[in-house]
Amino acid sequence: MATDYYAILGVQRDASQDEIKKAFRRLARELHPDVNPDPKTQERFKEINAAYEVLSDPEKKQIYDLGGDPLSQNGAGAGGFGQGGFGNFSDIMDAFFGTASQRGPRSRTRRGQDAMIRLDVELDESAFGTTKEITVDTAVVCNTCNGEGAAPGTSPQTCDMCRGRGEVSQVTRSFLGQVMTSRPCPQCQGFGTIVPSPCPECAGDGRIRSRRTLTVKIPAGVDNGTRIQLAGEGEVGPGGGPAGDLYVEIHELPHPTFQRRGDDLHCTVTIPMTAAALGTKVNLETLDGLEEIDIRPGTQSGQSVPLHQRGVTHLRGGGRGDLIVHVEVITPTKLDQEQEKLLRQLAKLRDEERPTGQFQPGQQGLFSRLKDAFNGR
């Protein structure tokens, strides 16, 4: 052999690939034409490119160690920009900027996708929390091949086209000289291995669809749209890769009596005019059981009765919201003669036979309220 590539890079013949790469990067920083434009230095830079082209490629290195000339087989000489020129461009960039090379076969194992399921809950369940079982249909690891994708008794084999590298190279000529480009191996799709006998259960994917039951703890205070994360309960990735997360989105069902506004509950009780005037007590079935609502005499329509700490539990922090009971007074529309007579007598006793009514200004507009505020009213 006329050229000693090991001596050019300054490494021993038993040097590892990592040692060869480090030696090349060190010399590339010193001898790159952009750094040192001396013609002799440029010739030296071409030599280290050619040396690295051979010693960084296991096939070419083997041919060289056996006494052959690997550069003559693909037409790339030490003086041209073959793989050692632009083919190792990422290594040169790494030598100057510290960028990492992305070469090598890609893994068949990848993380799975996240999944989401909607869960309907009743108002009392979201108010106090509960535990529910859900059924999910997601990808799980194939039990037949344990995620490898190969049929039982077989295993993936090294691709004979790229020899496990996951990529193939091609030398082309350009105005810059000979340029080597790399692309994913078309036979193994860049994995570096092929599965000659795919698993009959998962067709080589390493995962199958399965329906399973999970137990979900619903914390007190959840509301519509709240998402509960179950780590690692989503889709298993290709090749039996780690599973994604499962998100359970809460959907609170409407309640026949209460309307939720934040952590407060609202409801409306309808009472007759006489009950509003005389006062009464109304039984209400709350989330905590039967409660007696005290309607005071003279209660007007639109007034409310608050029941403190009878609402929804605060999701963060202690305590609960309130239950607000709105009162609606119903005026009778159909009276018989006796009822009408009694009401007229009541109106006469209260001097309300011909009420004149009391008129008040309507609601002020925004500019009127601002004017009053500036005037100190």
Where are the chain's structural domains? 5-97, 259-349
Is 267 annotated as ligand-binding? Answer: no
**If pLDDT is split at 50, 70 and 90, which confidence band does 286 have?**
very high
Distance between CA 341 and CA 334 in Å, rounded? 13
What's the mean per-residue pLDDT of the chain?
Answer: 83
pLDDT reported for residue 27 = 85
Higher pLDDT pick, 220 / 27: 220
**If pLDDT is split at 50, 70 and 90, which confidence band does 293 have?**
very high
Is 142 annotated as ligand-binding? Answer: yes
**If pLDDT is split at 50, 70 and 90, which confidence band does 93 have?**
very low
Beta-bridge partners for 230: 246
Could you tell me which of 62, 210, 186, 67 has the C-alpha nearest to residue 135?
A: 210
Is 202 annotated as ligand-binding? Answer: yes
Q: What are the counts of helices (DSSP H) followed by strands (DSSP E) for the chain?
A: 10, 15
| pLDDT per position as a tens digit, 334-348 | 889 998 899 889 888
Residue 305's H or E segment, with its range, is strand 304-307
Using a cut of 0.85, tell me whether the model's pTM lies above it. Answer: no
Domain spanning 5-97 has what CATH number?
A: 1.10.287.110
CA–CA distances in Å: residue 266 to residues 167, 180, 269, 335:
66, 74, 10, 32
**If pLDDT is split at 50, 70 and 90, which confidence band does 58 have?**
confident
Domain spanning 259-349 has what CATH number?
A: 2.60.260.20
